Amino acid sequence: MDRSQLLRGTLDAAALAVVAEQDGYGYDVLRRLRSAGLNDVGDASVYGTLRRLYRAGALTSYVEPSDEGPHRRYYGITARGRAQLAEARKDWAEFSQALSTLLETDVEVTA
């Protein structure tokens, strides 16, 4: 299955989880998502998602000067973002369990 398709619906939850763990700027969030195993996540997808979550009030943002280049815009999670993340966790748990059951059953049948 195309993993980028799978990612599309779950990137919000993933980005929220990363930022909830620790505030981060765009490239930082991207790197942490990748190091968590989401290698197929697109740069632009992450930046766009962060902006959208910020507009929706799930993230807050602040600028920190950087001695390595342009200023960095850090994102932190808000109360609304935490609520959204909790909702996403619940949904994902149910969904992944259901899908795991389905797919494992299928393996047994075709094996």
Partner 1 sequence: MTTAAHVPSEVETYLARVRAALGDVPADERDDLLAEVEASLHETASETGGSVAAQLGPPEDFAAELRSAAGLHPSTVPATAGLRGTLERLLSSPRLAALLRFVRELAPIWWAVRGYVAVAALALAAGASWSPSHEYLPRIGNAKIGAAVILASVAASIALGLWTRRTTGARLPLAVLNLLLLAAVIPVAIHLSHGAQPLLAEPVVIQTEPVPGLAYNGAPVDNIYPYTREGRLLHDVLLYTGAGTPLNISTSAYDPYRRILRTKTGARVSNAFPVRYFEPGTRVVLRPNAGPKVKVPRIATPPLRTGRH
Which spans of this chain sit near partner 1 (rule: CB under 8 A)? 11, 25-27, 30, 42-52, 55, 66, 68-73
Which residue number, 69 or 103, has a Cβ lying nearer to partner 1? 69
Contacts (Cβ under 8 Å, ≥6 apart) of 57: 78, 80, 81
Is residue 95 classed as helix, strand or coil in its secondary structure? helix
Least CB distance from residue 20 to partner 1, whole Å? 19
Least CB distance from residue 61 to partner 1, whole Å? 9
- Alpha carbon distance 93, 77 (integer Å): 21
Cβ neighbour number for residue 25 with a 10 Å cutoff: 18
Q: Please give the structure tokens belonging to residue 99.
A: 């899908």
Least CB distance from residue 79 to partner 1, whole Å? 21
- Alpha carbon distance 23, 30 (integer Å): 12
Which residue number, 35 or 105, has a Cβ lying nearer to partner 1? 35
Which residue number, 2 or 68, has a Cβ lying nearer to partner 1? 68
Least CB distance from residue 11 to partner 1, whole Å? 7
